[in-house]
Amino acid sequence: MDIRQQSSRSKPRRSTDNRVATGRMGESAAADYLVNLGYRMIARNWRCRIGEIDLIADDGGTLVFVEVRARTNPTRFGTALEAVTPLKQRQVREVAAYYLAQLKSASPSSIRCDVVAVTFRVDGSIAELRHIPGAF
């Protein structure tokens, strides 16, 4: 196949690169924020065969599964909070259950799922960071 005839799908997409970078920036901002609140980070981007948990932390004995959503243009695709759909909530719950089943130590006495939504300005600074403990 002549290179000029290749599908545009075979070329890297710049928007995907930007989305990944925004997601990483959001996760870093969320982790820093939570650590400043006194959370102890246990894992970042914990993956298994059914999905991924962005952050896993300990908040005074409560095991917290954190879904992080980041946006740079909230009017284009909705806000970061709007991106935590019922489908995403179900996936986070399923991955959290899988994580708990893999624990070698005793199960934690309490768990919860938090959401951290980060909106960035064009220059990369944080315009808004919202933390919702026990979001779902």
The confidence band for 8, taking pLDDT boundaries of 50, 70 and 90, is: very low
Contact 58, 111 (CB under 8 A): no
Sheet holding 110-120, edge to edge: 40-48, 51-59, 62-71, 110-120, 126-132
Q: For residues 22, 19, 70 and 53, what is the CA-based torsion angle, rounded to 10 degrees?
A: -100
Per-residue pLDDT for 74 more than 70?
Answer: no
Statement: 13-132 belongs to CATH 2.130.10.10:
no
pTM given for the model: 0.84
pLDDT digits (tens, 9 = 90+) for 80-118: 899 999 999 999 999 999 999 998 878 898 999 999 999
pLDDT at residue 57, as a whole number: 98
Range in 4-8, 68-72, 74-78 the model is least confident about: 4-8
pLDDT digits (tens, 9 = 90+) for 15-63: 677 889 999 999 999 999 999 999 999 999 999 999 999 999 999 999 9
| DSSP assignment letter at 72 | S
Burial 21-54 (b: 16+ CB within 10 A, else e): ebbebbbebbbeebeeeebeeeebebeeeeeebb
